[in-house]
Amino acid sequence: MFTLAKQVVKDNDFVYQKSTEHNYFFINLHIPNLEVLLIGLKNWNTWDDVDVFSYLNDYTLDRLRNDPSFYIFVDMAEEGFDPVYQFKFWPSISSSIVTNNLPAKKIFYFSCNLQDEKNSKYVAFNVHVEHMWWSWQNDIHDYFNVEKEFKRAVKNTKRLHNKKFYSSLNRAPRFYRTYLNACLYYSDAGEQGLFSQMSIPEDNFKYNRNDIDWTMLEKFQNQLPLYIDHKVMNEPVQKYKHIFDQTLFHIANETVISNKFDRRMITEKSFKAISTFTPMMLFASGSSNKELENYGFKGYESYFNVSALDKETPTEKIHEIVAETNRVCKKLSNMTKAQRIEWKFSNEELLKHNFKTFRANIFNKTQRQKLLAYF
């Protein structure tokens, strides 16, 4: 474990000093003979051009310039913001480095926006990216026993599966995820879905969007909240297994759904399906269904028409996911229960590969090794 610097950040509205308590990125980061000032960024909506490092005292800035063992880590590790266009983190950090005459390579920005790694070539400071997964990894039994877990999933699906073919979970009622659930709920496949959906905030009905069926959304609001059971939706993955075991596929409503900002995240919303050997469609920014392979996983082309799912806008994605859900459910409706279960586990090699990739934490380990190699 590296050593944290003492309190050196002046009181201000934009930058604060952090500890490593409960922070996966840093509590498991072993870099000897290193002292780090760990800072976070706040009040993002009020940012314009912030002189980030002006809130550190002169002694700290001099140490950064002259002490080879002293670094600054900007900790946005649990966020997936676009740091250029959504909030001007990177432009502000870059200009503050120049203004304060600081060595850019001694400053690291930590993030779980997968797009940040691609975009890091445009900035002089270092950027480190990992998946947001850590709070779920250790909640699954038999850490490396893929065969035992696979047999468990097959056995329980045979026991629990009945009339519900898919699940779509949306604990936080974010707009497009909620609209997807509404479209699914009133589609031909609505009766075959398991939905978890909180009530829609009144502010959501004030949006000026002409691509939304507002009459349907207001009708959906009258059905909410929808519960699969009475458990809260932020419990360990063990508490979800009965949901995935009784269904045949999952629609993963990821954290970020945007075509305005450059953001990409794969979180526990997808890993829950992967860890229970459940085929899934991703509702996420960008071309996430196609790009799973970029992170070591295999895509679900043998189950779904993946090439149709990754449209440009959220509403286009919604229409394609609903159409594909209807197509698959119609196909499954013509099967016996045994045939449906056989369909779910038909690509055993893919399902096991994704489980093992998730459990082995391959992407994060590769990223972490690149980070450690720097020092």
Which residues of the chain form CATH 3.40.50? 139-360
Structure tokens belonging to residue 14: 């934009």
pTM for the whole structure: 0.86
Digit-by-digit pLDDT tens for the chain (375 residues) are 566 667 788 899 999 998 877 676 777 788 888 999 999 999 988 888 899 999 999 999 999 999 999 999 999 988 888 999 999 999 999 999 999 999 999 999 999 898 899 899 999 999 999 887 654 454 444 556 899 999 999 999 999 999 999 999 987 788 889 999 999 999 999 999 999 888 888 877 777 778 889 999 999 999 988 888 755 555 544 577 889 999 999 999 987 777 778 788 788 888 889 989 999 999 988 888 888 888 889 999 999 999 888 888 889 999 999 999 999 999 999 999 999 999 999 999 999 999 998 888 888 888 889 999 999
C-alpha neighbours within 13 Å on the C-beta side of residue 217: 21
Q: Which residues contact 76 (CB under 8 A, 6 or more apart)?
A: 40, 41, 83, 89, 109, 110, 111
Residue type, 114: L
Closest CA to 332 of 249, 250, 272, 276: 249
> Using CB atoms within 10 A of its CB, is residue 192 exposed (0-12), middle (13-18) or buried (19+)?
buried
Closest CA to 277 of 196, 184, 343, 328: 343
Q: Is the link from the previous residue into 201 a cis peptide, with omega within 30 of 0?
A: no
pLDDT at 3: 67
Q: Kindly state the DSSP code that residue 205 receives in the 8-state scheme.
A: G
Q: Are 274 and 354 in contact (CB under 8 A)?
A: yes
Residue type, 168: S
Structure tokens belonging to residue 334: 């013509």
Distance (Å, whole) CA 168 – CA 239 = 16
Distance (Å, whole) CA 189 – CA 156 = 23
Closest CA to 52 of 118, 44, 143: 44
CATH code of the region 139-360? 3.40.50
Q: Helix (H, G, I), strand (E, B), or coil: what is residue 76?
A: strand
